[in-house]
Structure 1
Amino acid sequence: MSSTGVVASQSERIDVLFEELAELTGQRNAIDGRIVEIVAEMERDGLRGVTGARSAAHLVAWKTGVSPSRAETLAAVADRAEEFPQCVAGLREGRLSLDQVGVIAQRAADGSDEHYAALAATATVAQLRTALKLAPKPRPEAEAETDPDADPQPEPDPGPQPSVTRTSDEQYTSWYIRLPHVEAAVFDAALQSHRDALIADWKRDAEKFGGAGDQRPRLPSLADAFLRLVYAGWDAEAAERPHGQRTTVVVHVDVTDRVGSLHLGPLLSDADRQYLACDATCEVWFQRDGRTLGAGRSTRTVNRRLRRALEYRDRTCVVPGCGATRGLHAHHLKHWEDGGLTELANLALVCPYHHRAHHRGLITIRGPADQLVVTDHAGRPMTSASLARPPTQPPPDVAPCSGPTGERAQWWWYEPFRPQPPPSVN
């Protein structure tokens, strides 16, 4: 066969393979789009809470067996699906990939759906990232335009003042910290130092699990670093106090009605009372008919030797699909107030989220430790295996996706997305 015939044969073969690749790519994109819709529906209707998953990304990584980074992308697209309907429609129709829409959902400003949906039809993921970097950053509210007819009232500037504000809702407490640049630089350096230490531990854990999607711990965040910074200061202060104790939580419990309250504080729910008595430095005072009977043991923390044995046995949070390895609590399988002993057979390592979820009834952890059973809100046994199985339905019927053109972008011709100013009110 001549060289011309060989080249023609290879070209025809490549065309056939590319055609199949385009078909499979479109089907894969459409499947990812349907997964996004399912995750968005579960978040919208509050269904995730009964599964025992810490977050939407954790649920996706657990139940689909994908990597944490891909699960974060799926969760990000699901979270902003209503803000980017055209981009999500392109994903559902197989025209856009999850990575393309994920970059947009994770970084794009509100109101830019039409702009980036058109750009994603031809741009690669790297080009979309560049386009998003070129977009103007939103101005802080303090720099917003004011009424030009208003008379300015200059006030003396006291200089930057540190401040801390706190807000709470039913699930979370939010702290807003405002620091001058000098103090902020010190805080940033300390925060980054603790995050580097957490990441070093995370890498060791990731190598231990070999990158398995359902066991690999999530990458430590700045919130984790902030908590580590708090704990470090707390431990340093505790070492200087008599007997090396931490701050003690004092709880008053009525032995007749099993009603507990904080010292000079509000009543506690059954879940919070059992949570505090499980693995915390907690001083419990027993009362009957308003009279103090005496104090219980002043601490529920596990000693170092028992903690090491527990960590060697469980290694991670015992809740299937979790895999958390940092900040784990030693949970009493039979509650301390019910006579549960602080011994290895009655203890299990759980992450803070699942520890509270158990005491609130969202999941159930039953022992002894060698016969551990974990069930969800409906009583279904939880397993670390993903839901993947051989398909029984045909793939989605969508148009083939040939992908972006991949041509060199001429950025001097590109017009970045610019948010429209709100209409003025006369």
Structure 2
Amino acid sequence: MEGPLCNDPADEPEAHALCELAAHIHAATAEFSERVAAFDLRDAWGGAGIRSCAHWLSIYAGFESSTGQELIRVGTALAALPLTRAAFGAGELSLDKAKALAGVATAGDEEGWVELGRELTAGQLSRICRLYRQAREGNPEAQLANRGLWTSYREDGMLRLVALLPPEEGALVASVLESIALERSQQPAQAAGETLAEGREAPQVPDPAQDPWAARRADALVAVCEHAAGVAASELEGAPGRTRVVVHVYASLLSGKAEGGRCALEDGQALPPSVAERLACEAEVVELWEREGLPIDLGRSRRTVSPRLRMALNARDRGCCFPGCPIPLRRTHAHHLQHWAEGGRTDLSNLVSLCGFHHRRLHEGAYSIRHERDGSLSFEARNGKLIRAQSQWLDCASA
């Protein structure tokens, strides 16, 4: 198997050995991507709480979800690109090059793209393919389809923001940030708490930013968000209660003590008890006493998870606790391990964070959660098999 041409005068035998090993890795990756694409096409990954084939790969094969998605995308594209498939399988193209070609090559122009892939570095090829896609897809519909904002935390704890906006909206955002940054750069910085005599200049506080102008634009973005948050808070102050979805359900039905009974939305639309049970996990619960079908008394409402308790839960779980699930805590629900209708307490030891998808699947009976003696959680599929990420010990619910 021959890989890319290697020539290292300092250690030529070792250089060729490394290139040969890289070619074997590329060939194995090509086979893996094709097989996992076929695996995805058959929906063979489906199971209790598994969101997608990429999610399955994150649990059982140790890949990041984004890496799994790329492997599936490339493997799927190879079915229509025989030349790329052959070069990738022979170790002549790396996964990075195959990813770039999969986004631009077609049956009519594949040969030229593959030759280009053999000649250029992965970085050079990715840049050319990116520019080509921009020229090909630069229409309003494609821009609207591709718009979005993504966030991720770096290893040093800083939050990275990546945004894609249509040109006119991007120009508006850039203009506002530039204007605020320029205005702030012209304001003298004064030491905190220091009163200056008339005629004296305020001492300048040095900014440690490696790129001062970029830092000012970041400060401008924070200032815009702080202003928006303040406006939203003032608008909400004294406003009427939050919009509600009212569900009528018998407590005995939630606790499993009765099979019949009412379970419906306010307009009469019936709901499965599992849906009402899931909604009740973080709902505002109002006790209503009835006699012969007519309400006779109304108890006071109570919120099952207080804001203080929710903060503690977020600090402990930091996201959905289902194995391999990447959903962050801001999009999770607080689930009672023992439902409140069955006497379960609303405290930290009886709560676990689950995203909407896994919360719904749990109440549908696709899997179950069990407390272990050490306080950790075990996730079991309906057939009794443990669901666990590769080499992962789940401790998000440990006391």
TM-score by length of 2: 0.62
Cα 1:129–1:331 shift into 2, 3 Å: same
1:249·1:283 contact (CA, 8 Å) conserved in 2? no
1:137 aligns with 2:136: yes
**Letter in structure 2 aligned against 1:309:** A
Counterpart in the other structure of 2:192: none
- Number of matched pairs: 309
CA displacement at 1:95 relative to structure 2: 2.5
Q: 1:308 Cα shift?
A: 2.5
CA distance in 2, matches of 1:287, 1:109: 68
Q: Give the direction of change, closer, same or farther, for the CA distance of 1:220–1:354 in structure 2 (3 Å limit).
A: farther
Q: Does structure 1 conserve the Cα–Cα contact (< 8 Å) formed by 2:368 and 2:380? A: yes
Equivalent residue, structure 2, for 1:423: none
Give the one of 246, 250, 260 matched to 2:242.
Answer: 246
What SS is found at the alignment partner of 2:36?
helix
Tell me the residue number matched to 2:329. 326
Q: Which of 23, 30, 40 is the aligned partner of 1:33?
A: 30
Q: 1:134-154: per-residue Cα shift (whole Å, max 9, x none)? A: 354147699xxxxxxxxxxxx
Q: Which residue of 2 aligns with 1:421?
A: none
1:18 and 2:15 correspond: yes
Question: Counterpart in 2 of 1:381?
Answer: 386
Counterparts in 2 of 1:47 and 1:119: CA distance versus 1, 3 Å: same
CA distance in 2, matches of 1:288, 1:47: 52
Secondary structure of the residue that 1:383 maps to in structure 2? coil
Q: In the aligned structure 2, how far is the partner of 1:36 from the partner of 1:375?
A: 29
Q: CA deviation at 1:264?
A: 0.9
Q: Deviations over 1:312-332 (max 9, x none)?
A: 333332222235433222111
One-letter amino acid of the counterpart of residue 361, structure 1: G
Paired position in structure 2 for 1:402: none
CA distance, structure 2, for counterparts of residue 289 and residue 16 of structure 1: 90
Q: Counterpart of 2:346 in structure 1: which amino acid?
A: T
| 1:116 to partner: Cα distance | 2.8
| CA deviation map 1:42-97 (0-9, x unaligned) | 32122333163444444334433345553443243245343444424433332321
Aligned to 1:304: 307
User: Percent sequence identity over matched residues?
Assistant: 31
Q: Aligned residue for 1:181?
A: none
CA RMSD of aligned residues (A): 4.3
Corresponding residue SS for 1:330: strand
Distance 1:92 1:177, change over 3 A: closer
Q: In the superposition, relative to structure 1, how do residues 238 and 56 fare at CA in structure 2: closer, same or farther (>3 Å)?
A: farther
Are the counterparts in 1 of residues 33 and 75 from structure 2 also a CA contact under 8 Å?
yes
CA distance in 2, matches of 1:367, 1:45: 34
> Is structure 2 residue 80 aligned with structure 1 residue 80?
no
Shift of 1:296: 7.4
Secondary structure in structure 2 of the residue aligned to 1:52? coil
- Which blocks of at least 5 consecutive residues in structure 1 are unaligned? 1-9, 143-175, 179-187, 211-216, 223-228, 388-426
Question: Does structure 2 retain, via aligned residues, the 8 Å contact 1:250–1:285?
Answer: no
CA change 1:15–1:51 in 2 (3 A) is: farther
Deviations 1:259-293 (A, max 9, x none): 52221153223332222111234668688986658
Displacement of 1:99 after TM fit?
0.8
Deviations 1:325-366 (A, max 9, x none): 332221111223333332222101122332223223333223
Give the whole-Å Cα distance in 2 for the aligned partners of 1:138 and 1:67.
28
CA separation in 2, counterparts of 1:303 and 1:290? Answer: 32
Counterpart in 1 of 2:280? 277
For 2:320, the equivalent position in structure 1 comes to: 317
- 2:338 counterpart of 1:340: no
**Cα distance between partner residues in 1 of 2:162 and 2:274:** 28
Structure 2 unmatched ranges of 5 or more: 1-7, 165-224, 393-399
- The TM-score normalised by the length of structure 1 is 0.59
Quick one: distance in 1 between partners of 2:294 and 2:38?
A: 52
| SS of alignment partner, residue 48 of structure 1 | coil
Question: Which residue is equivalent to 1:91?
Answer: 88
Contact 1:253–1:287 under 8 Å retained in 2: no
**Range that drifts further, 61-70 or 305-314:** 61-70
Mapped partners of 2:35, 2:139: distance in 1:
35
Specify the SS of the correspondent of 2:389: coil
Higher RCO (CA < 8 A, seq sep 6+): 1
Q: Does the CA-based 8 Å contact 1:375-1:381 persist in structure 2?
A: yes
CA contact (8 A) 1:276 1:282 kept: no
| 2:58/2:389 contact within 8 Å kept | no
Equivalent residue of 1:302, what SS?
coil
Give the Cα separation in 2 of the matches to 1:53 and 1:219. Answer: 28
Distance 2:122 2:286 in 1: 56
